[in-house]
Amino acid sequence: MSSETGISGLLSRFWRKIVDHFEDYEIKRETILSAIAMFIILAIGVIVRIFPIMKGYDPLIKAFDPYVQLVSSEYIAGNGLSAFIHWFKSNSWYPYGFNAGSELYWGVPLSAVAIQGILNIFSINVSIQQVAYFSPVIFGFITIIASYYLGKEAVSPRTGLFTAFFMSISPAYLSRSNAGFFDNESVGILFMVLTLFFFIRAVKRGGTLASFGSGISLGLLIGSWGAYRYVLDLLPIIVLVLVLTRKLTYKLIKTYTITIITSLTIGFLIPRVMRNQFFNIENMIPVLMIAFLVFIAFIQNLSRSLSERTFKQAIIVGAISIFVLLVVFITIFLSLGVFTNIAEKFWSVILPGERLNIPIISSVSEHQPMTWAELFQHMHIMTFLMPLGLYYCLKKPTDINIIILILGVTTIYFSGSMVRLILLLAPAAALLSAMAIDKLLYTYSLSAHGKMALTKRKIRITKSIGRDEAIIAYLVIFGLLVTFSLHSVNLGEQFANSEMAPVFFGTGVPATDWQETLLWLRTNAQGDGIVPNSPAVVMSWWDYGYWISNYGNATSLVDNATTNKTQIGTVGTMLMWNFTESVRLMYKYNVKYVLINSQAGIPGLGSDLSKAIWCIRIAGATVPQYGVNEDAYFGLTEDLRGSEFKDRYYDSVLYRLAAYDQDSGFGWDSSFSGTPSSDNPGLLTKASQYPVYDLTGDDGFTYFKEVFRSYGFTQSAPNARLFPLIRIFEVIYPENIAQASAELFSRYPIENDSE
């Protein structure tokens, strides 16, 4: 049998085809350089995100919100998605509880379970905690790649590389995609970039698959992050501007319609989104834009078949009719309560002045307007490159450049309104900055390589731009990029070292004050509360609720979901009332322990004392019947030049528990070098102008007993263990508390405004 027949002959011919293919295949130098550059960008993006591991830190989840995501992932992995949908957490928002499956977005916990499942297929056994720790790095890696394709599709491959570079180490994005920051943003930004990429691709090429890709990406964004509202309403704004600039095409109508219908179909499968209701303004704007596009297309077709006079008459009659129908339609739906308004939080972004009237939003530092220092810290050289990118978009207003322009302008506005939204600015800033550098260097590149066409208009340019000028331009840009890289890497290291979490997955030995605190709660706050067969409720300000309930395994009154403003105001009241009045409220809520983040009794430093003003303002806004108002606690000094605390502030539960010193001493005992104990507790540091209190009320009854104090495990000072940063007190109720509490609530019944 010939060697050219049979299986061996078939394999031989197949191999020759492969060899011949690569012999004729020419790889361009630009392709190789681009691949190398992209590899370096991705490597840097990963390395800067895993600094904690490289520096030997334990793999800890950071901040507050990621803990509810981690617990949700563990629950789905252990019980399945169906059980998660109906999961009721009785240890949160006592006594009402928390429906985790319907209150949370699913994107982050489901992504962790999916990654674990994929790795298990390849026999790579990892825990959910390990996946949660590294998933921001994984999504950051994918986002860098997606950013490259966004820049490439929107402008050019060079812009794509620069966009990927900026996204890989942009401080604004890096802060939310570091290893351990297991929250909605790392997934949300990926789906935002993918939505923009597919949308631009579909508008340019008219592809149906790209339109569906845009819709699927937006749908996944809707199910993953509350900031989906921005992208969902950005698209109709883009379409409206394109219509007004006479750039409406069939490709745009098809792309937009498929994107919105697909995304809402997917997004409304998530109970949290369904709870927001379909007929609210933020959802109806993109839907009504579809009807508007159909109407405009109909008008365009009508103009071709009617005379000019008849067409104008038809337009006038049609516009009046549509306006009347729209007014009637909106009036009926508003009166019936079918349409719901935009949520307060999002109104406060659109109209920042309204935020002053919403203390629960203003109390969060991330919700404050952005300062110049914060803008430069997060954007660095992009601060100056973004305006140049906007200029190039205005100079050549193609449909794609208009999309980039609107993206840039809106994200700049919203990030300026609320510093947290600088994360939304990150992709837009990267794209605009990349576009600016690309356009700047393009002319120098052509001149340096002798490829510029010598038209009459350009002869003068080539005379002034030679190789020397081109080299200088490249060196200047290179220097700026190096400066940006050093700045970003330095900040990345700071992000890695900050907000180290309370939860430990390794030895179980506490290494921080919060780890020690939550370990104590796991051990000591699991029995009955003050009423038999009821939980031991731990009261704290809402900042620490996720930590207490999810990893302290204790029952909390409020947490970071902030779903019930009235209950947050009630907790603020309990913290700001005096001992005698406060315990009456505490008894009704079955409070057994009060946790105070005292920071050694010093105001500021992130202590609860610095948050007292927000306890007062939120209580005054949500439960005004309790009489907590700013004037009762703070007032002007005698010279009217500043403010001072009043006696009611010093008598509050919050202050007296934070400033409590068992020995009523001043300063601290420098001779004490042992481990603090009940026999030798050490002394509480304090500023000399603030009084130190004991735990006795005005009636002589002792209402609280200190049962735990942390001692600064993470501090480097030799006497750091003398400074209690976190303190837990057990409530001591008087014998007549049931009657006193009933009398109080006969006047002030419990209210619940859970959203």
Write out pLDDT tens, residues 294-352. Answer: 888 777 777 777 677 776 776 677 777 777 777 777 676 666 665 566 666 777 777 77
Enumerate residues 6+ apart whose C-beta is below 8 A from 180: 52, 59, 60, 61, 62, 66, 133, 136, 501
Q: What six digits make up the tokens of 544?
A: 């620490």
Helix, coil or strand: residue 235: helix
Task: Choose between 593 and 283: higher pLDDT.
Answer: 593
Residue 579 in domain: yes
pLDDT given at position 691: 54
Q: Are 190 and 142 in contact (CB under 8 A)?
A: yes
- Condensed to tens digits (0 to 9), the pLDDT of residues 697-726 reads 888 888 998 888 886 554 444 444 456 788
Confidence of residue 274 (pLDDT cuts 50, 70, 90): confident
Residue 505 has pLDDT above 50, yes or no: no
Q: What is the C-alpha to C-alpha distance for residues 53 and 96, in angstroms, rounded to an integer?
A: 40
The SS3 call for residue 97 is coil
pLDDT band with cut points at 50, 70 and 90 for residue 384 = very high
Let me know if residue 628 belongs to a domain.
yes
Q: Are 556 and 537 in contact (CB under 8 A)?
A: yes
User: Are 341 and 755 in contact, with CB atoms under 8 Å apart?
Assistant: no
Are the CB atoms for 686 and 719 separated by under 8 Å?
A: no
The SS3 assignment for 705 reads strand
CA distance 194 to 144: 11
Asked if residue 739 is part of any domain, the answer here is yes
CATH, residue 578:
3.40.50
CB contact set of 751 (below 8 Å; sequence gap of 6+): 566, 623
C-alpha–C-alpha distance, residues 560 and 67, integer Å: 10
- Phi/psi at 660 (5° precision): -65, 135
Tell me the per-residue pLDDT of 109-159, one tens digit each, with 9 for 90 and over: 999 999 999 999 988 899 998 999 999 999 999 999 999 999 999 999 999
Domain range for 620 is 563-747
Domain presence at residue 729: yes
Whole-structure pTM value = 0.85
Q: What contacts 388, CB < 8 A, 6 or more positions away?
A: 432, 436, 439, 440
Residue 97 CA to residue 518 CA, distance in Å, equals: 20
Residue type, 275: R
- What CA–CA distance (Å, rounded) separates 131 from 105? 18
Q: Return the structure tokens found at 523.
A: 């051990």
- pLDDT tens column, 35-51: 899 999 999 999 998 88
Tokens of 473: 């331009």
Cα–Cα distance for residue pair 512/711, rounded to 1 Å: 9
Would strands 643-645 and 634-636 be described as parallel, antiparallel, or unpaired? antiparallel
Task: Report in angstroms the alpha-carbon separations of 755 from 302, 561, 633, 752.
Answer: 47, 10, 30, 9
Q: What percent of the chain shows pLDDT beyond 90?
A: 39
Residue 512 in domain = no
Q: Among 212-226, 342-356, 471-485, 513-527, which range has the highest average pLDDT?
A: 212-226
Q: Is residue 363 part of a domain?
A: no
pLDDT tens-digit map of 510-567: 667 888 888 889 888 887 888 888 899 999 999 999 999 988 889 999 998 888 889 9
Q: Let me know: does 609 contact 658? Beta carbons within 8 Å.
A: yes
Nearest to 441 by CA among 392, 376, 387: 392
Is the sign of the CA dihedral 260, 266, 272, 278 positive or negative?
Answer: positive
Average per-residue pLDDT in the chain?
Answer: 81
Q: What is the pLDDT of residue 71?
A: 92
- 3-class secondary structure for 272-331? HHHHCCCCEHHHHHHHHHHHHHHHHHHHHHHHHHCCHHHHHHHHHHHHHHHHHHHHHHHH
Instruction: Give 339's DSSP letter.
Output: S
pLDDT at 688 over 80: no
Kindly report the CA angle at 55 between 49 and 59, in degrees rounded to 5?
65
User: Strands 537-539, 591-597: parallel, antiparallel or unpaired by DSSP?
Assistant: parallel
- The tokens describing 652, both together, are 């509050």
- What single DSSP character describes residue 721? G
- Does any domain span residue 19? no
**Residues 345/229, Cβ–Cβ less than 8 Å:** no
Indicate the number of domains in the chain.
Answer: 1
